[in-house]
């Protein structure tokens, strides 16, 4: 398995974020906090790392005068997630 991919996805918060984003079109920052059970600061750091790796796209806008951050998984993020789990399956003992 690619060591950078392994290092990125073995983090439980990033793994929860990516796995959730696979099931939806996009998710708000607040929803990602809820599904990952992480703090604002931790989510902020983790989504930045995922964005820097081009696994997700972050969109920031204002809705009703309030900031809204939403995230969407990229095709690279989907492929990397699948590769990560295929690699984990290879560790399965016969």
DSSP H or E stretch at residue 79? helix 75-90
Of 47, 41, 42, residue with least CA distance to 17: 47
Using DSSP, state whether 74 is helix, strand or coil. coil
User: Tell me, what CATH number does 64's domain have?
Assistant: 1.10.10.10
Q: Provide the residue range defining the domain that includes 76.
A: 3-80
pLDDT over 60 (residue 86): yes
pTM for the complete prediction?
Answer: 0.87
In a domain, 63, yes or no: yes
In a domain, 90, yes or no: no
Residue located via tokens 């983790």: 46
DSSP H or E stretch at residue 29? helix 29-36
In a domain, 21, yes or no: yes
pLDDT over 90 (residue 90): no
pLDDT over 90 (residue 17): yes
In a domain, 23, yes or no: yes
The residues facing 60 across adjacent strands are: 69
The domain tally of the chain equals 1
In a domain, 13, yes or no: yes
Q: How confident is the model at residue 73 (pLDDT cuts 50, 70, 90)?
A: very high
């Amino acid at each position: 398995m690619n060591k950078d991919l392994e290092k990125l996805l073995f983090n439980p918060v990033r793994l929860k974020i990516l796995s959730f984003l696979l099931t939806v079109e996009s998710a708000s920052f607040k929803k990602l906090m809820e599904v990952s059970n992480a703090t604002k600061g931790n989510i902020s750091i983790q989504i930045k790392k995922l964005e820097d790796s081009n696994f997700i796209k972050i969109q920031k806008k204002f809705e009703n005068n309030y900031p809204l951050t939403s995230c969407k998984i990229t095709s690279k993020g989907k492929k990397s997630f699948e590769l990560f789990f295929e690699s984990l399956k290879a560790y399965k003992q016969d």
